[in-house]
Structure 1
Amino acid sequence: MQKQARKARLFIDKNDEALRVRFFSFLDEFEKGRIPSLEELRLFFVENLGIKDARSCRTEIEFLEEQIVNHEGDVEPTASVLNGFVAITRYCRFLLFGFATDKVELQFESQKKPRKGLITREIADTFITIPKDFCCPISLDLMRDPVIISTGQTYDRSSISRWVEEGHCTCPKTGQMLTNSRLVPNRALRNLIVQWCTAHGMPYEPPENIDSSAEAFSAALPTKAALEANRATAALLIQQLADGSQVAKTIAAREIRLLAKTGKENRAFIAEAGAIPHLHKLLSSTNPIAQENSVTAMLNLSIYDKNKSRIMDEDGCLGSIVEVLRLGLTIEARENAAATLFSLSAVHDYKTRIADERGAVEALAGLLKVGTPRGKKDAVTALFNLSTHTENCARMIEAGAVTALVVALGNEVVAEEAAGALALIVRQPIGSEAVGKEEMAVAGLIGMMRCGTPRGKENAVAALLELCRSGGLAATERVLRAPALAGLLQTLLFTGTKRARRKAASLARVFRKCENYALHFGGLGAGYAFAGNSTTSRDSSFVGDVSVAMSISVPVL
């Protein structure tokens, strides 16, 4: 067998080799900004490869994407080349076979009972398939900048940096003492994460301080050929959004949503080509699939900062997004409208415009009360962003957002952000008065101090501190009457984060100044006296800043 193997020659079919060379020539043409002619592409795909309809084209795309998933770094063609093949094949799918052939697929999709939303399926798939080794042990999120600490464990840089800044000197996972504070980039793991994200169509936008030109990433980043092919595909899709049939518009919105899932380059050229006005019109569609895809495409486009202004400057677009939030035809459409408002509200000047839009805050509050877990998360993050602008306080009170936030304190999925929003609202007298009128507000915040996450406890004690400061003696006495508060403050002083300890000490000082302090607490006074004299309270100018995980990423769907 060995002798025969040595004598055997590798046989390469000349026709296959010619096809391979031709396909690479298409990549070269796209990379140089030249789009191959319709005749050339038809000859190659239809006559040579035997791909004669859109269904066959989709099958080829799925096969190529599977190859990317299972790709090994030292095997040719590289992942980037395979991405280029996918981009060109997707372009040819619409150039050669049009849009009408997908009508049956859309009809089948709309008739499924019970129908899971497009978005729900994608979110579920994303979270189920993320490899455990790619997630940070602290945040449990996909790592964007993995680093190795002295114990040999890997964490996301932002999470472990925060851990160390809070005064911890042990490894969160092993409990070992840290011998030094060096953070060594785990480039091998980062490369694997980038390749995995590319294969699954997930965005990977590393922090700005990462050298994006590093060789470790070059293999997985999209090539110019892939970007140019995607640009050509976007032009076809936008043309259908403008002039196509209702079926074609629905398909085009779906494909734009998928294209906008990854890469700021894709999001930029899709918007520059004029997609936003056409997606805006589709928001009012009576077709649930069309509406859901259009609002989700708008969400994905809004992640790119320059597109935020394009959306807000489009006449009536904000109002249409709010209408989908209020009256969307599917729960997924309403949830993604809320997520879009969250994304847009990242710009400070847009916070008041969103809050002043008729029905926006009311709809967010309603979704926070009765939405799905994901819908509540979208709503509370949007409300938190709006609460960071002082001019929105009165509007949020009027719209019932305060009541919804207080109720949300009892839901562990959204309690942390709800406490953060309340801590901002109560800084103003009218906000303090509104929260003070909510019967469950103080109890809910104290419950957070007892059972919440470290950041949730931090936000809860911050909210109580601001409530006492802004609400005066009456509010302070009401908080003082809460059972077990002294013990919880003591616990925070010893086990809380650095900020939580400062907030707890500041709250104890406020209590000590209350003229009814001795009446209400008598024998427990030693606890507050200790807090007031603790070294943790030396920052007397502390104003109870809020800590919310603003690394919350906009879902890319």
Structure 2
Amino acid sequence: MAVSPETLPPKKKRSSSDERLLRSLLLRSKETSNLSPIPFVLYRNSNSIIRKTKLLTLLLEELLLVDQVIYSSFPASAVLCFEELYIVLQSIKTLIQDCLFGSKLWLLIQQQSVANKFHELTLELSTLVDIFPVKEIKLTQDVAELVLLLRKLCSKTTPLVEEKDVQLKIDVLEKLDRIKGQIVPQQSKLKEMFTRLELNDSATCTDEIEILEEEVRNQSDEKSKADIVALIGLVRYAKCVLYGESSAVRTLRSREKSGSMDLTIPADFRCPISLDLVRDPVVVSTGQTYDRASINLWIESGHTTCPKTGQTLDHTEMIPNCALRNLIVMWCREHRIPFESTETKEKVNCVTTNKTLLEATKMTVSFLIQKARASQSSEMANRFVHELRSLAKTDANSRACIAEADGLPLLIKFLGNEHPNLQVNAVTTILNLSILEENKTRIMETDGVLNGIVEVLRTGATWEAKGNAAATIFSLTGVHAYRKKLGRKTRVVKGLMELAKTGPISSKRDALVAILNLAGDRETVGKLLEVGVVEMASEVMDGLPEEGVTVLEAVVKKGGLAAITATFHVIKKLAMILRDGTERAQESAAATLVNVCRKGGSETVSELAAIPGIERVIWEVMGMGTGRGRRKAATLLRILRRWAAGLYSNPTAAYSTTTASSTAVVLPG
């Protein structure tokens, strides 16, 4: 007999909130069950819990298909189980992902505690499955059997650590102890150990080092930090001994992938001293922002003035520029650029006195120098010099070890133009070594090193080599005595000037920052003027106005009447920068014009006054410029007013220039 639809009881719709919860739970369960087991350690632990989540996924899919006739929603006990299951699944997913993408060596060392976490999560999952209200929901027999199977699997669990993983951990700890005792590990044993950890090439080792460094920053326990730092030393050594040959190729590929970083960094994100990306921006007493490492080095070298403005620093306290730092972090994330501040770097370096790391670094340096010295071809030598370059970039201990192992005399051999890649790696290694203050003395005093750097600066095979040679000169000028010594060398000054004129933008910046440092010495400014620094700065202003006018400001400040004379013909270009430049460029242009007008007398002022609309430009800077820019613009306006009133004398202009136009200045009412 046919049954009329009206005779059937109406179905009650399940609560939409319960259904959303169940679907979210199913999605999280699928994500977790689709993860791969950890391949190198704790495989059985991760694989076991993933299989359980797969069963849970099947159960949740069946629950979504259950036809709820009696209940309009799940029982409260079931909803509570769903909520708790979501949290447990999220914890399982996070744990597995941390193991998969974290440090392999640190996971190996921590395997027992991680195995315990897997066990604890399995027990939590078991508890929730046990209390799940199967009878209240009226599941089908198949679904109920699925619940029983899941309960049975979850109940049979122990914190399992496999014997082979335990033995691998013992092997790693033994290698660390031998290195600490200055015993070089056997290469075959090291290879076997790293193969098991799937650290099979230079790229994976480099990634492992970066992950370990991040792990140090995340640790609060000092012992754990020391243990991780020791592991970093082991991986660095193994990377060079086992896989060093592939690293130069990897770096070349990464350069091709990332492109020229120097050309893309916004000007506001560059440190005025190093011209590199600011990692830890701080504001000094003059209101200027610098990278903490660069300004610290500047002050520790004996300077008492602001590098950009030349003003005396009232104090050496530094205020973090959090707003700029946040912008830089966002920009780096957008362009997938690793960001590491000076502060976090110091957290890594604070434990680098670790004995194991130090001995591993010494072994690594000794191996690389021996191999580079014994290389029969430039290609082979380049691979090992490249590793020295990378190592010299890591920390102070590495720089000290390379210099103490007579690395500088070795590097001199590779500064010739015959092999461009080798030349770049050699000069960049010296640049990285120069970051350490003690190494500056070694570079200046070791026979042939300084001459080799200067030769690369002048005749290097590539712009990159020339730029890094210029950056090395800049680093050395951080010491006052060396700044005077380098400034007296005509080859140094001419090499920097030529690079600033003809090089690409990144190399120009390297040269300009070195020239700016040299311009801090009055005697050196005279030599800079002799070789045409004003004309060079004028040319540079066309493409790099901020950098060019900053150099000109420093030269005018220290150069006396000779600098004023040379700058007379650049006044119109300075006025254009005052009108169209960035705030920083306007500030330097205003400061330069004030110095020129004060020292150059009425004839110089009249040249500035003859420029149409100059007062309006000055008024705009007074209203919208930086703090220092507004002050300098106000001073400049007062000079023009005194000149217009016939009150401006010409006490210091002991030279003749082309007669300027007598166009009168129309002062604002």
Q: Flag whether TM exceeds 0.5 (same fold).
A: yes
Asked whether 1:394 is paired with 2:540, we answer no
Conserved in 2, the CA contact under 8 Å of 1:203 and 1:261?
A: no
> Aligned pair in 2 of structure 1 residues 408, 117: CA closer, same or farther (>3 Å)?
farther
Counterpart of 2:287 in structure 1 is 162
For residues 362 and 236 of structure 2, what CA distance do their matches in structure 1 show?
11
> Aligned pair in 2 of structure 1 residues 420, 129: CA closer, same or farther (>3 Å)?
closer
> Aligned pair in 2 of structure 1 residues 127, 394: CA closer, same or farther (>3 Å)?
closer
Once the two structures are TM-superposed, the CA of residue 319 in structure 1 deviates from its matched residue by 2.2
Counterpart of 1:34 in structure 2 is 181
Conserved in 2, the CA contact under 8 Å of 1:120 and 1:332?
A: no
Task: Provide, for residues 271-299 of structure 1, a one-character-per-residue CA deviation record: whole Å limited to 9, x for no partner.
Answer: 22221222123212511111000010111
For residues 96 and 475 of structure 1, what CA distance do their matches in structure 2 show?
67
Counterpart of 2:376 in structure 1 is 245
Conserved in 1, the CA contact under 8 Å of 2:209 and 2:236?
A: no
State the one-letter code of the partner of 2:601.
Answer: G
State the one-letter code of the partner of 1:422.
Answer: L
Alignment partner of 1:480 out of 600, 609, 614:
609
For residues 375 and 16 of structure 1, what CA distance do their matches in structure 2 show?
51
Residue ranges of structure 2 left out of the alignment (5+ in a row): 1-149, 290-317, 648-660
1:524-539 correspondence runs (5 A) = 524-526=666-668
Aligned length: 459
Counterpart of 2:573 in structure 1 is 444
Counterpart of 1:318 in structure 2 is 450
For residues 272 and 105 of structure 1, what CA distance do their matches in structure 2 show?
24
Counterpart of 1:15 in structure 2 is 164
Task: Provide, for residues 125-171 of structure 1, a one-character-per-residue CA deviation record: whole Å limited to 9, x for no partner.
Answer: 799899xx9x9xxx995442xxxxxxxxxxx442899379xxxxxxx
**SS at 2:562's partner residue?**
helix
Asked whether 1:254 is paired with 2:400, we answer no
Counterpart of 1:230 in structure 2 is 361
Conserved in 2, the CA contact under 8 Å of 1:356 and 1:395?
A: yes
Deviates more, 1:276-285 or 1:387-396: 276-285
Conserved in 2, the CA contact under 8 Å of 1:61 and 1:86?
A: no
Counterpart of 2:637 in structure 1 is 508
Conserved in 1, the CA contact under 8 Å of 2:184 and 2:363?
A: no
Alignment partner of 1:46 out of 191, 194, 209:
191
Once the two structures are TM-superposed, the CA of residue 442 in structure 1 deviates from its matched residue by 1.6
For residues 382 and 140 of structure 1, what CA distance do their matches in structure 2 show?
13
1:349-368 correspondence runs (5 A) = 349-368=481-500
> Aligned pair in 2 of structure 1 residues 6, 36: CA closer, same or farther (>3 Å)?
farther
State the one-letter code of the partner of 2:427.
Answer: V
Once the two structures are TM-superposed, the CA of residue 432 in structure 1 deviates from its matched residue by 1.1
Conserved in 2, the CA contact under 8 Å of 1:80 and 1:219?
A: no
Alignment partner of 1:5 out of 142, 148, 154:
154
Alignment partner of 1:419 out of 525, 545, 549:
549
> Aligned pair in 2 of structure 1 residues 67, 493: CA closer, same or farther (>3 Å)?
closer
Alignment partner of 2:235 out of 89, 106, 118:
89
Once the two structures are TM-superposed, the CA of residue 230 in structure 1 deviates from its matched residue by 1.9
For residues 523 and 185 of structure 1, what CA distance do their matches in structure 2 show?
41
Once the two structures are TM-superposed, the CA of residue 251 in structure 1 deviates from its matched residue by 2.1
For residues 359 and 586 of structure 2, what CA distance do their matches in structure 1 show?
49
Counterpart of 2:619 in structure 1 is 490
Conserved in 1, the CA contact under 8 Å of 2:213 and 2:232?
A: no
**SS at 2:667's partner residue?**
helix
Once the two structures are TM-superposed, the CA of residue 19 in structure 1 deviates from its matched residue by 0.7
State the one-letter code of the partner of 2:205.
Answer: I
**SS at 1:342's partner residue?**
helix
Once the two structures are TM-superposed, the CA of residue 405 in structure 1 deviates from its matched residue by 0.6
For residues 515 and 105 of structure 1, what CA distance do their matches in structure 2 show?
67
Conserved in 2, the CA contact under 8 Å of 1:279 and 1:294?
A: yes
> Aligned pair in 2 of structure 1 residues 324, 62: CA closer, same or farther (>3 Å)?
same
> Aligned pair in 2 of structure 1 residues 159, 105: CA closer, same or farther (>3 Å)?
closer
For residues 157 and 63 of structure 1, what CA distance do their matches in structure 2 show?
30
Task: Provide, for residues 156-198 of structure 1, a one-character-per-residue CA deviation record: whole Å limited to 9, x for no partner.
Answer: 442899379xxxxxxxxxxxxxxxxx97999xx99xx9xx99x
Conserved in 2, the CA contact under 8 Å of 1:477 and 1:516?
A: no
> Aligned pair in 2 of structure 1 residues 59, 299: CA closer, same or farther (>3 Å)?
closer
Alignment partner of 2:515 out of 369, 378, 383:
383
Task: Provide, for residues 371-410 of structure 1, a one-character-per-residue CA deviation record: whole Å limited to 9, x for no partner.
Answer: 2221111111111111111112232122232211111122
For residues 125 and 425 of structure 1, what CA distance do their matches in structure 2 show?
29
Conserved in 2, the CA contact under 8 Å of 1:410 and 1:444?
A: no
For residues 319 and 554 of structure 2, what CA distance do their matches in structure 1 show?
34
Once the two structures are TM-superposed, the CA of residue 515 in structure 1 deviates from its matched residue by 6.3
Conserved in 1, the CA contact under 8 Å of 2:283 and 2:320?
A: no
Counterpart of 1:457 in structure 2 is 586
Residue ranges of structure 1 left out of the alignment (5+ in a row): 110-114, 145-155, 165-181, 528-557
State the one-letter code of the partner of 1:56.
Answer: N
For residues 229 and 583 of structure 2, what CA distance do their matches in structure 1 show?
42
TM-score by length of 2: 0.59
1:422-437 correspondence runs (5 A) = 422-427=552-557, 428-436=560-568
Q: Which has the higher contact order (CA 8 A, sep 6+)?
A: 1
1:324-363 correspondence runs (5 A) = 324-363=456-495
Task: Provide, for residues 292-345 of structure 1, a one-character-per-residue CA deviation record: whole Å limited to 9, x for no partner.
Answer: 000101111111222112111223322221211121111211111111111112
For residues 326 and 459 of structure 1, what CA distance do their matches in structure 2 show?
29
Once the two structures are TM-superposed, the CA of residue 47 in structure 1 deviates from its matched residue by 4.2
**SS at 1:318's partner residue?**
helix
Conserved in 2, the CA contact under 8 Å of 1:203 and 1:263?
A: no
Conserved in 2, the CA contact under 8 Å of 1:449 and 1:488?
A: yes
Once the two structures are TM-superposed, the CA of residue 204 in structure 1 deviates from its matched residue by 5.0
**SS at 1:282's partner residue?**
coil
Task: Provide, for residues 80-129 of structure 1, a one-character-per-residue CA deviation record: whole Å limited to 9, x for no partner.
Answer: 755543431332344467x7xx3x886x79xxxxx979878778479989
> Aligned pair in 2 of structure 1 residues 48, 392: CA closer, same or farther (>3 Å)?
closer
* Larger Rg, first or second structure (1 or 2): 2
**SS at 1:431's partner residue?**
helix
Once the two structures are TM-superposed, the CA of residue 258 in structure 1 deviates from its matched residue by 0.4
Alignment partner of 2:205 out of 61, 72, 77:
61
Percent sequence identity over matched residues?
26
**SS at 2:589's partner residue?**
helix
For residues 354 and 425 of structure 1, what CA distance do their matches in structure 2 show?
17
Conserved in 2, the CA contact under 8 Å of 1:260 and 1:297?
A: yes
Counterpart of 1:539 in structure 2 is none
Conserved in 1, the CA contact under 8 Å of 2:430 and 2:472?
A: yes
For residues 663 and 589 of structure 2, what CA distance do their matches in structure 1 show?
21
> Aligned pair in 2 of structure 1 residues 48, 87: CA closer, same or farther (>3 Å)?
closer
Conserved in 1, the CA contact under 8 Å of 2:279 and 2:339?
A: no
For residues 219 and 117 of structure 1, what CA distance do their matches in structure 2 show?
29
For residues 488 and 349 of structure 2, what CA distance do their matches in structure 1 show?
47
For residues 200 and 501 of structure 1, what CA distance do their matches in structure 2 show?
36
**SS at 1:268's partner residue?**
helix
Counterpart of 1:545 in structure 2 is none
Counterpart of 1:25 in structure 2 is 174
For residues 521 and 247 of structure 2, what CA distance do their matches in structure 1 show?
45
Counterpart of 1:541 in structure 2 is none
Once the two structures are TM-superposed, the CA of residue 235 in structure 1 deviates from its matched residue by 1.9
For residues 404 and 116 of structure 1, what CA distance do their matches in structure 2 show?
33
Counterpart of 2:79 in structure 1 is none
Conserved in 2, the CA contact under 8 Å of 1:338 and 1:364?
A: yes
State the one-letter code of the partner of 2:608.
Answer: V
**SS at 1:162's partner residue?**
coil
> Aligned pair in 2 of structure 1 residues 117, 275: CA closer, same or farther (>3 Å)?
farther
Counterpart of 1:369 in structure 2 is 501
Conserved in 2, the CA contact under 8 Å of 1:409 and 1:416?
A: yes
Once the two structures are TM-superposed, the CA of residue 464 in structure 1 deviates from its matched residue by 0.8
